[in-house]
Amino acid sequence: MPVEQHNLVNTDLHIAAQNDIQAVAAWLAEYQDSPQTLKSYRREAERLLLWLSRENKQLNHVDREILRQFENFLMDPQPSEYWVGPTKPRHHPNWRPFRGGLSPASRRQSLVILQGLFDWLVEAGWVSRNPFKLMRDKSRRLNNQIQRIERYFERELWEWLWQWINQPPHEQSSRALYEHARRRFIFAFAYLLAPRISEMANTQMLDFQQSEGRWWWVVVGKGSKLARIPVPDDMLTCLRQWRGALGLPGLPEHQEQSPVIRALDKQRRISDNQLYRLIKGAFTDAAEALEAQNGKPAYISALRQATPHWLRHTSITHQAQSGVSLRYLAESARHARLDTTTRYLHSEEAEWHREQQRHRLGGTAPKARIEPL
């Protein structure tokens, strides 16, 4: 599915670009230090460029009506045989940019990203306007800060999932036992420290460090920012158990330079994509197990649609529900803005719900004497 390149002459350019592809590439270059952000931004920009090419349009043609058409397209990419297909490597002939139509949350996220793209292109002199500014309901759809985090596992579901993960494997071969131990550690790591998928995949043993008797996880996160996160005792226990499965003693030594999460050879690190697939596979297996137990349909559905990032959302949400203060929660989550962290706070909703229970149909409030009319 090639993207046609369209030349555009602009004397007020502030970037070295000859066509839309090069202009978007210049924007993406700003995110080279954030691999996961770059990956998601590239995906949304590529979808837009492919659609514009198919419509024989360029970025500077996009107005409010074209943007409306693109929104509808994201909801239902047609013709489906051209746009939709199973996961394939990017250069595979059967690669397609969509697995299916995007959900409302995914469409909103796509528009948020593309709004930022157009803001940048206006400043770069590549386009003259940002059509997203014309959206009447822009604040509802494009301001992600006002959206509460809903893509997480309720505590009851998480407790079932953790119990399920800890069940011994049916097969007792060395490989099955190793894969079981690895899956258990991955989920413990994800829940207790709230890493992003790339941070977890890239963690080295030396990133777990002890200082004055306390253990910390040192991580280079989004935007190449260095952070130091307290390691809870449960995480230390799981780390010891995982190192035992790797044939390693106790807790990491000083400057022990080796990957934490490893391939089947117990030596090589696994890639972000491999880790992603391991977690998604666990969700699928868990959904089937819960369905066999006649579990709640909503929980089964949550497991089927969950992505690995749900574990980060779950970790932060459950920490908030456990009473971790907003200040420390923001530090652990490594959010640049405090209002990002507040999206995980559901305490006001719970309090509101409790208060609302005072409003009854009758029988709980003092009865006033009703005078005859």
pLDDT level of residue 355 (50, 70, 90 thresholds) = low
Q: Across-strand partners of 214?
A: 211
> Across residues 133-148, what is the average pLDDT?
56
* pLDDT tier, 319 (very low <50, low <70, confident <90, very high otherwise): confident
DSSP 193-215: H---HHHHHH-BGGGEEEETTEE
CATH topology of domain 155-349: hpI Integrase; Chain A (1.10.443)
What span, in angstroms and rounded, lies between the C-alpha atoms of 306 and 103?
Answer: 13
Residues 121, 8: Cα–Cα separation, whole Å: 13
Q: Which residues pair with 259 in a beta bridge?
A: 204
Return the C-alpha torsion angle 323, 328, 334, 337, nearest 10: 90
User: For the residues 270-274, what does the mean pLDDT come to?
Assistant: 91
Q: Decide which of 372 and 357 is more confident.
A: 357
3-state secondary structure 254-271: CCCCCECCECCCCCCECC
44 Cβ partners below 8 Å, 6+ apart?
Answer: 109, 110, 113, 114, 117
Q: 218, 228 in Cβ contact below 8 A?
A: yes
* Phi, psi (deg, nearest 5) at residue 198: -70, -35
Residues 322-328, mean pLDDT to the nearest whole number:
75
Per-residue pLDDT at 340 = 57
Mean predicted lDDT score pLDDT of the chain: 85
Domain 20-146: CATH class, spelled out: mainly alpha
Confidence at residue 6, expressed as pLDDT on a 0 to 100 scale = 46
Q: Which pLDDT score, from 0 to 100, does residue 341 have?
A: 54
156-165 average pLDDT score? 96
| Residue corresponding to tokens 């666990």 | 282
Report the alpha-carbon distance of residue 142 to residue 132 in Å, rounded: 9
Secondary element (H or E) of residue 227: strand 226-230
Cα 208 to chain centroid distance, Å, stands at 24
Picking from 275, 301, 339, 272, the residue whose alpha carbon sits closest to that of residue 103 is 301
* pLDDT tens-digit map of 32-62: 877 778 888 999 999 999 999 999 999 999 9
Q: Which of 173, 190, 159 is nearest to 261 (CA)?
A: 190
Q: State the Cα–Cα distance between residues 368 and 373, nearest whole angstrom.
A: 15
Identify the three-state secondary structure at position 220.
strand
H helical segments located in the chain: 20-28, 35-54, 64-75, 80-83, 104-124, 138-142, 155-165, 174-193, 197-202, 233-245, 272-292, 297-305, 309-321, 326-333, 338-342, 347-356
User: In which band, very low, low, confident or very high, does the pLDDT at 337 lie, cut at 50, 70 and 90?
Assistant: low
Domain segments of the chain as ranges: 20-146, 155-349
Identify whether the C-beta of residue 26 lies closer than 8 Å to the C-beta of residue 15.
yes
* Structural contact between residues 128 and 122, judged by C-beta atoms closer than 8 angstroms: yes
Specify the pLDDT at position 146. 44
Name, in order, each residue with C-beta under 8 angstroms of 20's C-beta and a sequence gap of 6 or more.
Answer: 3, 5, 6, 8, 49, 52, 58, 59
Nearest Cα residue to 310 out of 113, 101, 109, 150:
150
Global pTM reads 0.61
Whole-number pLDDT of residue 11: 52
| Residue 227 to residue 196: CA distance in whole angstroms | 13
pLDDT the model gives residue 347 = 52
- Judged by average pLDDT, the poorest of 32-46, 68-82, 161-175, 271-285 is 32-46
Q: How far apart are CA 130 and CA 127, in angstroms?
A: 8
Higher per-residue pLDDT: 4 or 99: 99
Residue 223: pLDDT over 80: no
β-partners of residue 206 are: none
Rg of the chain over Cα atoms, rounded to whole angstroms, equals 25
pLDDT for residue 313? 87
Q: What is the pLDDT of residues 166-206, one digit of tens each?
A: 999 999 999 999 999 999 999 999 999 999 888 999 999 99
pLDDT of residue 109: 87
